[in-house]
A and B are shown apart, each in its own frame.
Chain A
Amino acid sequence: MRYSFKSFVCTLCLGVTVAALSEEFHEELFLRPLRDGKVSARFSFSTLLNGAVPRDPETLGAEDESQLYTLFPLALGQILREYAVTELHLTLNAGKWNYDRWGYPDEPGVGTGAELWAWMGEGGIASVDNRWLGLRNALAGLFCASLGSLDEQRTTSPVLTFQPEGSLPNSTVNYRLRHATLPSEHVCTENLTPFLKLLPCKSLSGIASLLNPHKLFDADWHGLGMHVRYLEGAGVEVRLATQAVLDPVRTSSDKRRDWSLSAIFDRRIEKACPVARSSVIRVRLPQNETYAIVPSPSTMDSIYATYLVREMEKPLDVAILWPEETKFVYPTAIEPQTHISVHRTLNGASQHAGHLALTVTNNHDTELQAGYLETMPWLLQFYLHTLHAEIDGVLRDDLVKLISYTPALPHVQPALLQAVLTLPPRSTMRLTMDVVKPFLAYTEHPPDAQRGWDLPPAVFVPFASQNASQIGSDPQQGAVLSDVRSTRMYTPVLLVDLATPDFSMPYNVIIMSCTLIALIFGMVFNTLTRKFVVVRVDEKKSS
């Protein structure tokens, strides 16, 4: 005991000499009107712990340094240090992000349900998988979400698609990725409350006071996210994000698309958060339309209007009006807003076999490539040899390259399928594959009412074609290339219906099968031990 305490005293002394870590808190709200009259709102709250370094896993058994935080959430800091997590991303979303109409989201992680991925260093007394288990359970407790069920049967390591967003501390340690999704998780108020508790100003002042659960969870699409990363030279950053697509047309009485903070959130900003180093509202302005924006922003250019919340007069209620428009007319057709469009369907009515089909459309005049990732639980098993690509009915298997496949092990691990698709300009590729649906052990069925199993979204990462970069000289092509962001695109989730037994009468089943077995046993036994005798019928008597 004495020695470990000494080490504590030493760290305390060290802490004093190093001087207190400075912490910064920044908050931002980004509002963006969409083509179909909706408004995308993205809240971002980032806390930077200057000079901090993620815990080295080698020190896991030893006494940890004291965690003295001012703005950084202590509950999260404890978890990060306990499991020596270097980078962590958690998203909880509800709804289907419509890439074609809404474009790329401001936060890339829009997969329906829960998605958790973390980079952790190897070494020390606890293995990465043990820490991943502890991390899941700790976050489940922190966010009141069923992240505990993100077990080995859902955990994969797709390193190509989920590269670290920050830096990994430069040492000899190997870093491992753990990634898991739970598409059936539904985000709700019980997740938002603990989320808000991690913010220094909770939802009582500053931009976070707009986070009204009644309005947020009424939105067409909404999601929460938490991102922890290590920035070399700066420190550990935790960024909490909320994203929502709100529909002012639906709630307005005269079907106009004018919106204001009080209309879409039912709240205004009454007080600034006293500890936020920056507190900014940015609004993307409508292009080629007549509009009015009130109050007048702190700074404004042709694309963005910016409000510095602390300098504005309170209460602050930002609004955009389209005075010439009496009623919003939904556009009949909206040009797809992203480079590629993806649709995924699961066909086949039987409870045994099925057919997975994807259509990937390149909306551009240049050739594109896309990384394709499936992290499929063993609830759906692929027949990889039936994977075929066709364009306009012509078989084009040559466009699917670099396939890497880890097959699923029933009851143990999910399948991991990665491939690179080459998409010719302005064309639609159709990918098909046969799948088989397994039987589950009766304990593997959830105790709830059964609606089928949600399957995680596939992930696409569009990037510029290598051929195109070799040609490279065409200026128009160059513009497109620079425009292609290597952002992740999530397909909607799928629902698979597996054979479900009747759970209502287990005792009847026992009785029934026991009776059958006893019956068969009795018959066989009787036949084996029966004594056959010849009965001579007396002929004299009968005649």
Chain B
Amino acid sequence: MDAISKPALAFESPLTRRSIIAAYFLVIFLALPLWWKTTSIERQGLPASRVSAQIGRDLVFPVRIALNTGPHELGMDRIVLDVQRQIEKNGDFEQNGLQLHVSNAATANDYQVTLRLGTWDPVIKGREVVLEILPEHVGIAAMQVADILVTLLMPYTSLWSSQAERIVSYSPRYRLAFTLLNEDATGDNAALSWDVRGALSAQLSPLLARLSVLHNFTIESQVQYHGPLAFEPHALQVAEKTEYGLTPEDLTVFVNSAQWTLSSSVSNDPVLHFIAFIPSSRHSPLRILDSDGSPTPSSAFILPQWGGIVIYNPESTGVAHTLAGRPLDAIFATFRQQLSALLGVPELPPHVQVRSNELAGVTDWQLDALVRRRAAENTASAQETLQSIVRLVAQIEDMPVGEDVKGDVENALAALDQTYSTASSSQFQVLAFASKAQSIASRAFFNPGMLALLYFPAEHKWAVYAPLFASVAAPLLASVIREAIVWRREKKAKAAVAPAADDRGHKAG
């Protein structure tokens, strides 16, 4: 009955059979590393602890204020102490990452506050503000100094949310697209061309040069001759004349993106559009209405984060061939204001006067505040992006993380560290590092390599493997088990039969 008891065939031996089976397993064993290498996902370890250490880390700008009371009798030592105390009482400075030191010795890059007796409004000259104090207010001079420092150093705390929301997010380069848009150039009032070069160099170049520490600008312009509105403006009777009005709701849908060719397709830089809109004679004059439906004196409006629009009603009817001179200067002056509002240049308090006009209307105080704001914004956004990457990678186990992503994350962290370490020396360098950190972090976040296996989950892999490997593995395993059983039985039989082995051998012989 037993297979063992039967004599084996000459060409067969258990050794050969077992080595054949072993060879199969050897091949599988040798192929395992290859299989592992070709199917595993590259996941570099991200410096998660360093990223989480960034939480709660804030930029702190040390700001030195030199108080200068001149030869006057305001009492220098006392007022310095008073101002310092007032500032410490006001928690806003600390919250906004400003560390103020007030002293009476001026160095080169400090902000200077000059106190004087007098009745004039505060005057700004470079990084200096001249504050005149009424003789009867000498007692609260320290409070006045602290107040003016709040409005000049932290102009953003007083912004309404709608003003803050219209500021475009930071980009090292913007495209500024200026469009002269005629609603219908075949009608009576239209401008067929404009002196855009002259207006740009007169009105905008100084501002752009001033802001060049923050952004680069690419400028382009076009003229459109047919830009119909997507809606019909309301007709109004004003002083026996028909005028046309745009309600606040109309303004939100004013841009007819289907028919106005405004989009640009060649680059990823954000575009800010500035449109000078000339209504057709059918809709002329076109006014902006307030919420009550009565015309406002304003003829321009900002679309948050998109651009600005100026509605120009030509004074004389008839086709003006070229728009130039004073009307165009007025339009571009509005564009300049809209651009500085969109880029987040803070406004000065209305009572503060500016001494010199050569700074394109942006004082050093404003520019510094903007640079600090952009630096803080970029730092926060870089931190947030890095944390999102780490969270995402931890959440999705199949997500590949390549060497380049890891390198980007590390570089972004290094740039962030540099941001913090230079905060005490130079604001412009802080901005440079912060924007570098931000751009590298978002490059890491949008790395296309991280998407690769998102659509090829592990389940799919097993579904493909199972039909082949399951059916191949079954006979392999079965043979191993069978051989093991046979081998054990053989061993047992050998042990039992060993004493009688000699007799049997003789019999067989």
Contacts and interface: CB of A to CB of B under 8 A. Distances in A.
Contacts of B464: 510
A6 to B, nearest CB: 8
Contacts of A1: 172, 212-216
Interface in B100-135: none
A12 B204 CA distance: 11
Contacts of A480: none
B471 A518 contact: yes
B21 interface: yes
Interface in B1-29: 3, 6-9, 12, 17, 20-21, 24
Interface stretch (B88-96, B286-294, B402-410, B472-480): B472-480
Contacts of B193: 70
B220 interface: yes
Interface stretch (B184-192, B295-303, B349-357, B385-393): B184-192
Nearest to A68: B221
Contact of A202 (B219, B222, B226): B226
A78 B197 contact: no
B468 interface: yes
A66 B475 contact: no
Interface string B262-293: 01111100000000000000000000000000
Contact of A16 (B8, B197, B219): B197
B417 interface: no
A68 B24 contact: no
A5 B223 contact: no
**Secondary structure dominating the interface of A:** helix
Nearest to B432: A1
Contacts of B472: 517-518, 521-522
A274 B186 contact: yes
A514 B471 contact: yes
A142 B471 CA distance: 54
Interface string A130-153: 000000001001100000000000
Interface bin, chain B: 35 or more
A515 B467 contact: yes
A517 B468 CA distance: 7
Contact of A533 (B8, B186, B201, B223): B8
A201 B9 contact: no
Interface in A501-535: 507, 510-511, 514-515, 517-519, 521-522, 525-526, 528-529, 531-535
A73 B9 CA distance: 91
A480 B111 CA distance: 87
A68 B195 CA distance: 10
A20 B195 contact: yes
B198 interface: yes
A63 B217 CA distance: 10
A487 B341 CA distance: 57
B474 to A, nearest CB: 8
**Secondary structure dominating the interface of B:** mixed
A529 B25 CA distance: 13
Contacts of B261: 73-75, 197-198
B412 interface: no
A522 B475 contact: yes
A191 to B, nearest CB: 15
Interface string B248-263: 0000000000010101
A75 B260 CA distance: 12
B31 to A, nearest CB: 14
B205 interface: yes
Nearest to B263: A75
B221 A69 contact: yes
B225 A274 contact: yes
Nearest to B473: A518
A75 B265 contact: yes
A503 to B, nearest CB: 17
Interface string A172-198: 000000000000000000000000011
B49 interface: no
Interface of A: 1-2, 4-6, 8-9, 12-13, 15-16, 20, 63-64, 66-71, 73-75, 78-79, 82, 138, 141-142, 197-198, 200-202, 204-205, 271-275, 507, 510-511, 514-515, 517-519, 521-522, 525-526, 528-529, 531-535
Interface of B: 3, 6-9, 12, 17, 20-21, 24, 172, 177, 184-186, 190, 192-198, 200-201, 205, 208-209, 212-226, 228, 259, 261, 263-267, 319, 463-464, 467-468, 471-472, 475-476, 479
29 contacts: A1-B212, A1-B214, A1-B216, A2-B213, A5-B212, A8-B216, A8-B217, A9-B208, A9-B209, A12-B197, A12-B205, A66-B200, A66-B221, A67-B219, A67-B221, A68-B219, A74-B264, A78-B267, A138-B266, A204-B184, A204-B228, A205-B186, A205-B225, A205-B226, A274-B190, A515-B471, A525-B476, A533-B7, A534-B7
Given A82-B266, A528-B20, 20 more contacts: A2-B213, A9-B208, A12-B200, A12-B205, A67-B219, A69-B221, A73-B222, A74-B177, A75-B264, A78-B267, A82-B267, A200-B224, A205-B225, A271-B186, A275-B225, A522-B475, A526-B475, A529-B17, A529-B20, A531-B8
